[in-house]
């Protein structure tokens, strides 16, 4: 019989020591994107022991676990990411990374431990009516080659059907246990452009006989900063950052070519399209004005993480019921990107943020660590959300 009592944070306290030990195990043994072999096996073995129907090697090292209770026709998916980053950890933690040059600097060890904690609790209580899908994804950090696209290409939606999908990421700067939600765009689309300017080389003392590719590239870099200021609605958020530039071999030589790379971020599809159009136009027009040529390689990365209103409001209500209205906040737009966005192109759902402590080191820092104090809140959130959806 399904209980009328929904999960509370205190219900996960008996699992806390196990979740902390699991999280520390992952932190000590990090694996890079597409190499999560031991992590994937560890996750699958735990889930199988708890009675889940487990499928391994979905989209590479991905694991999908399913549990059906009762005769309910509703279904839900909850996703956690598993991969680490190529960063050397700088800490004296007793569970610091044992792998040289690799660490969990983004908290995926915590995300995976949270979902495993919720998985065990829900397998024990079975206080829901329908089908629960737990997605443990590889290679979130791999950008355009990320694990979400690989799992989708491997038939995720067809092989493991579900009505809606939810995920979370830890959030440094907010108190442990705080939950942040946002309707619409919560994390940015991330695109990259590589521009090669082709001029005509010559002697530095005779610039009038050359077409100075470095000067032309610099004109482009400065002018590109006006796109956001003068072409994008000031109520919208967008970023154009030129982060690399190179050209030339000696002080007395004007080089034939120069190259620069830009990162472009946005929160709405229409803004994303406008940025690309204006970027190409600015580069092309400046090249033409100085009788140079410019090749633009413009690559779209992860799209906007766009929470659907009904599912985000549902998750917000669950969060408020769990931790109280004062501990649930509206998340500001985050200019970082996440490949969870690809799931939301196909399915309704929401991506949430979980406080990692006001003194937490920033993500991707060599001194970052996931806050163990947020494990029970995260696991209780997933358990209560699943119970509420599947009632």
Do 17 and 31 reside in the same domain of the chain?
yes
Residue 211, domain member (yes or no): yes
Query: Do 132 and 197 fall into the same domain?
Result: no
Q: CATH no. for residue 29?
A: 3.40.630.10
- How much is the pLDDT for 144? 79
Residues 343 and 359 in one domain: yes
Q: Within a domain: residue 2?
A: no
- Write the pLDDT tens digit of every residue in 268-306: 989 999 999 999 999 999 999 999 999 999 999 999 999
Q: How far apart are CA 182 and CA 168, in angstroms?
A: 12
| pLDDT per position as a tens digit, 24-33 | 999 999 999 9
- Report DSSP letters for 135-175, one per residue: EEES-GGGGGG-HHHHHHHTTHHHHS--SEEEEEEEETTS-
Stretch 368-386: mean pLDDT: 98
Share of the chain above pLDDT 90, in %: 98
Do the bridges between strand 293-300 and strand 189-198 make them parallel or antiparallel, or are there none, so unpaired? antiparallel
CB atoms within 10 A of CB 359: 9
- Contact status, residue 318 vs residue 385, Cβ threshold 8 Å: yes
Indicate whether 233 and 330 sit together in one domain: no
What percent of the chain shows pLDDT beyond 70?
99
What whole-number distance in Å separates Cα of residue 248 and Cα of residue 246? 7
In terms of DSSP bridges, do strands 189-198 and 179-181 run parallel, antiparallel, or are they unpaired? unpaired
Exposed e or buried b for every residue in 366-382, given b needs 16+ CB within 10 A?
eebbbbbebbbbbbbbb
pLDDT band at 201 (very low <50, low <70, confident <90, very high): very high
Which of 256, 279, 300 is where one domain is finished?
Answer: 300
pLDDT band at 2 (very low <50, low <70, confident <90, very high): low
User: What is the domain extent for residue 250?
Assistant: 189-300
- Paired sense of beta strands 189-198 and 257-266, if any: antiparallel
Do 211 and 318 reside in the same domain of the chain? no
Which ranges in 29-146 belong to alpha helices (H)?
37-49, 108-125
Q: Specify whether 104 is located in the same domain as 226.
A: no
- The one-character DSSP state at 304 is -
């Amino acid at each position: 019989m399904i209980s009328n009592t929904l999960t509370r944070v205190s219900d996960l306290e008996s699992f806390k020591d196990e979740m902390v030990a699991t999280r520390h195990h992952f932190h000590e043994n990090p694996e890079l994107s597409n190499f999560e072999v031991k992590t994937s096996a560890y996750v699958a073995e735990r889930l199988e022991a708890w009675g889940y129907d487990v499928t391994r090697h979905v989209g590479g090292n991905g694991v999908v676990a399913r549990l059906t209770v009762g005769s309910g026709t509703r279904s839900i998916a909850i996703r956690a990411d598993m991969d680490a980053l190529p960063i050397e950890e700088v800490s004296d933690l007793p569970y610091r990374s044992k792998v040289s040059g690799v660490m969990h600097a983004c908290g995926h060890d915590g995300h995976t431990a949270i979902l495993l904690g919720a998985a065990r609790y829900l397998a024990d209580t079975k206080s829901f009516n329908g089908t629960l899908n737990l997605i443990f994804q590889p290679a979130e950090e791999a950008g355009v080659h990320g694990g979400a696209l690989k799992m989708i290409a491997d038939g995720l939606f067809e092989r493991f059907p579900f009505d809606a999908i939810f995920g979370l990421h830890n959030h440094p700067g907010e108190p442990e246990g705080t939950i942040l939600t946002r309707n619409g765009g919560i994390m940015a689309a991330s695109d990259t452009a590589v521009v090669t300017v082709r001029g005509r080389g010559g002697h530095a003392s005779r610039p009038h006989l050359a077409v100075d590719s470095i000067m032309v590239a610099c004109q482009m870099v400065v002018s590109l900063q006006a796109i956001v200021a003068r072409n994008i609605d000031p109520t919208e958020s967008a970023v154009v950052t030129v982060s690399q530039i190179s050209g030339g071999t000696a002080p007395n030589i004007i080089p034939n070519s120069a190259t620069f790379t830009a990162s472009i971020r946005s929160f709405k599809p229409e803004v994303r399209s406008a940025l690309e159009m204006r970027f190409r136009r600015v580069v092309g027009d400046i090249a033409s004005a100085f009788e140079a040529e410019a090749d633009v390689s413009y690559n779209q990365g992860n799209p906007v993480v766009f929470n659907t209103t009904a599912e985000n409001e549902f998750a917000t209500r669950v969060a408020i019921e769990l931790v109280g209205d004062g501990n649930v906040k509206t998340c500001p737009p985050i200019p970082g990107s996440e490949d969870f966005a690809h799931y939301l192109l196909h399915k309704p759902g929401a991506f949430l943020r979980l406080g990692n402590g006001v003194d937490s080191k920033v993500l991707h820092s060599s001194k970052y660590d996931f806050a163990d104090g947020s494990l029970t809140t995260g696991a209780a959130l997933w358990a209560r959300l699943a119970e509420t959806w599947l009632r």
